[in-house]
Amino acid sequence: MQQRKILLRAAQVLKAAMLAYRETVYDVDLTKIEYRDGVLYLHQSQRSVSSQSKRGPFPNHLTDNIDHKEAALVKSQSTAATALLGPLTRKLLGGKKPFYPYLPKRAVTNKKLGVPLKIETIVVNIGRPWVPTRLVPGPDIHGGPHTVLKIERVESNETWIIDTTGCQYGFRDVLVPFGKYIHDNECRILSGPRIYDACETQDLDYLSTLYVFNKTKAQRQDMLLERLTRHHFAVFVYMSVYDDFLMGFGADYKRKFDHFVNGLKTHMVDSIRKAGNDFEDSEDD
């Protein structure tokens, strides 16, 4: 199979996994989705830092537009996606693998048919969003940092961008040549590139050191629940993604892809309950 096709499939799986995660573990209290004057407005009931977030299925009744739904799912999630999808990216494409002591012993990384790639992250400013997405009320920082993967095919000297959360800017393509992505979206590189070695809780590990995100019990509970839920996501990845996952043709691969996405959704629905039980147990300790 052509290496570009493998790379495209990997990018599509990463985006689908992020959307499936957010669709089942959604933490924004949306009340209305409104497209007006070229901008997608996400109206929310804003909560205080002393109240826990609502976690559960995405409110599908608010829109029947798939593009609007996907934008709402990943709004302000690029950093979280970079962390969450780290283990899955390495299972699909290879790369440096952190140690996960909580995983079952049979959930090991197998030797796989990979693509010779250099995988890094960069943080950019999107100067030209096609369809901006705004939270109402905020916080909503226009032109804020956006994290993407920079993929270099070493043997061919090709460089690509994988943007799993670009739909919040109206971007349809998840895999774009590096130069085209930077030019068409009028990007300014804010930091990077840096080696991509994130575990699924890397951003939470950092946020947990900042007082502003930990000053109330509700904030600490939210972070703990998110951490537990992401661990369940990582376990599913290790148990479900195997060496030749990206191989296959036509309908056979489509069935494999759909089975993965549907299985992930089912697993994450169960994980919400399991994470809640684990959280209650930890509160009793």
Per domain, the residue ranges of the chain are: 3-284
E strand intervals along 114-261? 117-125, 133-136, 145-153, 158-162, 175-177, 188-195
pLDDT of residue 277: 57
Asked if the model's pLDDT at residue 98 lies above 50, the reply is: no
Name the pTM for this structure: 0.89
Q: Can you give 4-32 as a three-state secondary structure string?
A: HHHHHHHHHHHHHHHHHHHHHCECCCEEE
Amino acid making up residue 94: G
CB atoms within 10 A of CB 20: 21
Q: How far apart are CA 13 and CA 205, in angstroms?
A: 25
Give residue 276's pLDDT: 58
Is pLDDT larger for residue 154 or for residue 29?
29
The per-residue pLDDT for 105 is: 36
131 vs 99, residue with greater confidence: 131
142 falls in which pLDDT band (50, 70, 90)? low
How many Cβ atoms sit within 10 Å of the Cβ of residue 142?
A: 9
The SS3 call for residue 47 is coil
Residue 280 has what pLDDT?
53
Cα–Cα distance for residue pair 132/160, rounded to 1 Å: 23
User: What value does the mean pLDDT of the chain take?
Assistant: 87
pLDDT at 278: 53
The per-residue pLDDT for range 177-219, each reduced to its tens digit, is 999 999 999 999 999 899 999 999 999 999 999 988 888 999 9
Of 71-85, 151-165, 202-216, 239-253, highest mean pLDDT: 71-85
Q: What whole-number percentage of the chain has pLDDT above 90?
A: 69
- 131 vs 244, more confident: 131
The mean pLDDT of 48-71, rounded to a whole number, is 92
Q: From CA 58, how far away is CA 55, in angstroms rounded?
A: 9
Evaluate if residue 26 carries a pLDDT over 60.
yes
Question: Residue 100: which pLDDT band, with cuts at 50, 70 and 90?
Answer: very low
